[in-house]
Amino acid sequence: MDERVKKYEEKMGKTLDGFEKELGTIRAGRANPHILDKLTVDYYGSPTPLQQVANVTVPEARIIQIQPWESRLIKDIQKAIMSSDLNLNPNTDGKVIRLVLPELTEDRRKELVKDVKKKGEAAKVAVRNVRRDANDAFKKLSKQEDISEDDIKGLEDKVQKLTDKYIKDIDAAVEKKSKEIMTV
């Protein structure tokens, strides 16, 4: 593929990857340790991702277990969970923290699906912005170098095909996540 198109494909790919990671942090009915990916804990004065100071496991379908490597971190981890937007109440026995995920109500599921669709739209806008940037760059290129209009049109067509592909991938990810959330 043309080098001039390749860098825009990489940007679109990064947008899709970021979107899929973000979807992983959205809580569906089952326990998923990735909902804790955004959490940071105060570890010797610096904010550190939870996964770097504790072992996170899923012993049962609706329970996430967090076992800190240092027991003094339990209070800090609990504080981080309480102050997050997860709406979860951590239970501890002094050694491990357990997060029991409540069943999602129908309204909450619909709310989550709306949120997923909104994030999907934002990702599609980001992909379209990459396409616009590419087309602008190609138009500038036509003024600077002697490239025929047909070559510019060819580059624009390649970028449009990439845009269509990534938007289709985003729609598929939204559909998959929405189905996962609505499954009881």
What CA–CA distance (Å, rounded) separates 13 from 132? 16
Give phi and psi for 29, each to the nearest 5.
Answer: -70, -30
101 near 62, Cβ under 8 Å? yes
pLDDT at 155 over 80: yes
Confidence at residue 180, expressed as pLDDT on a 0 to 100 scale: 83
Architecture of domain 3-24+105-182: Orthogonal Bundle (1.10)
Q: Which residues contact 21 (CB under 8 A, 6 or more apart)?
A: 37
CATH 3.30.1360.40 residue spans of the chain? 33-100
The b/e string for 82-114 (b: 16+ C-beta within 10 A; e otherwise) is eeeebebebeeeeebbbbebeebeeeebeebbe
CATH 1.10.132.20 residue spans of the chain? 3-24+105-182
Chain-centroid distance, C-alpha 70? 29
The pLDDT of 56-66, averaged and rounded, is: 87
Confidence at residue 108, expressed as pLDDT on a 0 to 100 scale: 82
95 near 156, Cβ under 8 Å? no
pLDDT band at 167 (very low <50, low <70, confident <90, very high): very high
- Half-sphere exposure at residue 163, Cβ-oriented, CA atoms within 13 angstroms: 18
- CATH number of the structural domain 33-100: 3.30.1360.40
pLDDT at 51 over 80: yes
58 near 33, Cβ under 8 Å? yes
